[in-house]
Amino acid sequence: MSEILAPAGGKEHFLTAVNHGADAVYFGLKRFSARAGAENFSWEELEYCLNYAHCFGVKVYAAMNTLIKEDELQDFFADASTLYGMGVDAFIVQDVFLGARLKEILGDVRLHLSTQGGACNVYGAKAAKSFGFDRVVAARETALEDLREMAKLIEVESFVQGALCTAFSGQCYFSAFAGGNSANRGRCKQPCRKAYSLNGAPMCYALSLKDLNTSRATFSELREAGVAAFKIEGRMRRAEYVAAAVDYARAALSCGDLRNLKSNLMRTYNRGGYTEGVSRDKAVTYTSHPGHIGEETGTVNSVKGTRIFVLSSLKPNIGDGFKILRNGRETGGAVIKKADTTKSGFYAEAFGSVAAGDKVGITTDVALNEKLKSVKREKEVSVSVKAMAGEAISATAFASDKTVTVSGGVAAAALNAPISASDIEKCFLKTDNYPFKVSVNCSTDSAFVSKGVLNALRRELYAELFDSFTEKRKVREGAEKMLNAPSEPLEENGKAVAVITSAAASGDIAVYAPSDYGNEAGFSEFLKGEAKEKYLKLPSFLSGAQTDCFKALLKGFDGIYSDNIAGMALHREWGVKLFAGTGFNVFNRIAAEGISGEAEHFAYSAELSVKEARSIGGGFYFDGGAVKLMDLIYCPYGAKCDKCPAPATGRLTDEGGRTFILRRVKTPKCVFEIYNYAALKAKSGMNRVIVNDVVADSGIDLPFTEGRSRKGVI
């Protein structure tokens, strides 16, 4: 199995993906989708698209991969039940507990764990499988050897094209805490694409990653490793990008010519060149520009007012658009308003700051876009129509293994103008908006049939045939009762404080989060502390090869503190207690009930309000100290490890003057943690709270904020 999975931000994108030969398409509704800013689908559009895809044997996956609050659960399950009944082939879900309940309610539904679930090793795959998931969408940072081990256990999907999140998937709170728009709720404002100063250096796009583009050799390695599905990112992009990306992936898998296809990709979206991914490349950022710069196509030769001449072999069309770059940075743009070319180049209307010597990249290629979107697929359909005087008019359509027959009223004997076979054929060759290529066989005698009757019969026939390609399901008996079952908040087990620290601590619970897991002296010092319970914090991202190293470090600890679902499998295999951290993103009672049966302690998602957390009950509330916004599984300094310039603590300063802490953690490989520009001031009044002191332990004083964000997390 080598499934090419394409994104669909709207109906046009969906049909384009199918027409270009995608094996599967994933989409979102207007709510509960991690791309809330995409066009997304109405129910009417979706019904047509489902039938269109299934007509060609293309599978359809519903992305319901946001975190769901308590008061949204009924709507979530209601939408999922409707989608299930409509015939979607699988659900992409972030929350394993919610996924398990979905399977309990709907029965034979297929579940895919979203990349937001953070599965990056075989232990994450084990956890997902134990909750009834059929596939894991591996975290983008997952190494080839981990993909191979995961694929031995469960179906694995891996990203091969499109934007890369700079943060480890599902663990990013930058947009939520620094701007009030939750990435986990589909509303990411992409602060990683903004400009920052790294340790006082000039402002640049320090966190902006290049797009992923997988080479033919890497496709081959992924397939050899057992990866079943190759995923293209891009529900927020244009339909022509979807077309170009599917074409490229298909050719890469089938050894086709990639040269022109790579050019097509760059013209539809190119964020400063491409990368093979965090696990393969060192230099993954493009710090000069955060967006689409197209394919370089020439150099500005002269500027006269707003009119420029570009040295180029390109012969552009009216409407083509360009970006003007100087030293990699955008300074202006240009557009073709009238055809004006010479042997050596073309003229264009420019805006912004443009000078001779600037590079020109084409970002909108009108002819290419029209070509990509003009590709259509047709389903061969054989139609047999019988119109005999004194008998019911009937029509039968045959397509693949589908046979549909409809009939109308009794045909009358013609008085003077019987219907002809050519009239019937002409009528049934009209396919309306259905992707059918029809051949018609007619049987008629001296019958009279009005055009209106014939047209109605055709419309009914094709509508039923089109609908037959999608298997409709009935929601299992009792599902509605399960959906609406009341639930009480979990009981609180008294007061307790958990402190995440890199130093010895006393009190209820101490969680050791060292900056260097190889520092034996640090471990010894921490274990001398007088805390009643001691947990070792596992890194959010952990390769399978590293797990044995962490198991060896557990002597003297009561258990592990984990922000990743892999922690559930690890604590079972290691026989230690689990503290499920804020990274589990417990957002509702279903998740709370699920994790409380697994873990000694659990934390609510750091994005929840006090009111929301109290309605769930039983957990620890993040209520003080440094707020970790993201984990970087790459080096933001872009350096070789043997010449590492990274300080233990760095600083990222945005254009508004806010300074975010960049903490280096040796695991033994380096990962980097970014902390918010202000610390939370404990004030919730909750019984069980978590305080993060790791930044304070480093001797850094952050200003305090009494709010969880400037605008309130949503």
Interval 596-630: pLDDT, tens: 999 999 999 999 999 999 999 999 999 999 999 99
Banded model confidence at residue 480, pLDDT cuts 50, 70, 90 = low
Of 498, 490, 489, the residue nearest 622 (C-alpha): 498
Mean pLDDT of all residues in the chain? Answer: 93
392 near 409, Cβ under 8 Å? yes
DSSP tag of 475 = P
pLDDT tens, 332-387?
Answer: 999 999 999 999 999 999 999 999 999 999 999 999 999 999 999 999 999 999 99
Percent of the chain with pLDDT over 70: 97
Question: What's the 3-state SS for 256-285?
Answer: CCCHHHHHHHHHHCCCCCEECCCCCCCCCE
* pLDDT at residue 58 is higher than 90: yes
Query: Phi and psi for 252 in degrees, rounded to 5?
Result: -65, -35
Strands 649-654 and 196-198: antiparallel
Of 362, 335, 356, 357, the residue nearest 347 (C-alpha): 335
> Stretch 179-190: mean pLDDT, rounded?
87
Q: Which two tokens stand for residue 227?
A: 């990866």
The total of other beta-carbon atoms located within 10 Å of residue 386's CB is 18
Banded model confidence at residue 485, pLDDT cuts 50, 70, 90 = low
**Which strand ranges, in their side-by-side order, compose the sheet holding 392-399?**
402-410, 392-399, 379-387, 436-444
* pLDDT at residue 31 is higher than 90: no
DSSP sequence for 226-265 = T--EEEEP-TTS-HHHHHHHHHHHHHHHHT---HHHHHHH
pLDDT of residue 638: 82
> Stretch 528-544: mean pLDDT, rounded?
96
* pLDDT at residue 675 is higher than 50: yes
Q: In Å, what is the CA distance from 32 to each residue of 199, 240, 524?
A: 38, 26, 46
531 Cβ neighbours under 8 A, 6+ residues apart: 499, 505, 506, 507, 508, 509, 510
pLDDT of residue 476: 74
Q: Which residues pair with 351 in a beta bridge?
A: 333
pLDDT of residue 712: 41
Q: Is the peptide bond before 668 cis (omega within 30 degrees of 0)?
A: yes
* C-alpha R_g of the chain: 29
pLDDT of residue 708: 58
pLDDT of residue 714: 37
Banded model confidence at residue 52, pLDDT cuts 50, 70, 90 = very high
DSSP tag of 358 = -
Q: In Å, what is the CA distance from 165 to each residue of 225, 563, 592, 671?
A: 24, 18, 27, 15
The model's pTM: 0.94
628 near 611, Cβ under 8 Å? no
* pLDDT at residue 713 is higher than 80: no
Q: Which residues pair with 361 in a beta bridge?
A: 296, 323
* pLDDT at residue 709 is higher than 70: no
Q: In Å, what is the CA distance from 711 to each residue of 35, 183, 559?
A: 20, 14, 36
Gap between the Cα atoms of 204 and 660, Å rounded: 15
DSSP sequence for 620-635 = BEEEEE--EEEEESS-
pLDDT of residue 703: 84
pLDDT tens, 401-440?
Answer: 999 999 988 888 887 888 889 999 999 999 999 999 999 9
> CA angle, corner 270, sides to 265 and 272, nearest 5?
145
> Stretch 625-639: mean pLDDT, rounded?
92
CA 173 to chain CA centroid, nearest Å: 16
Banded model confidence at residue 684, pLDDT cuts 50, 70, 90 = confident
Gap between the Cα atoms of 96 and 105, Å rounded: 14
Q: Which residues pair with 274 in a beta bridge?
A: 211
Helix (H) or strand (E) holding 220: helix 216-224
> Stretch 565-593: mean pLDDT, rounded?
96
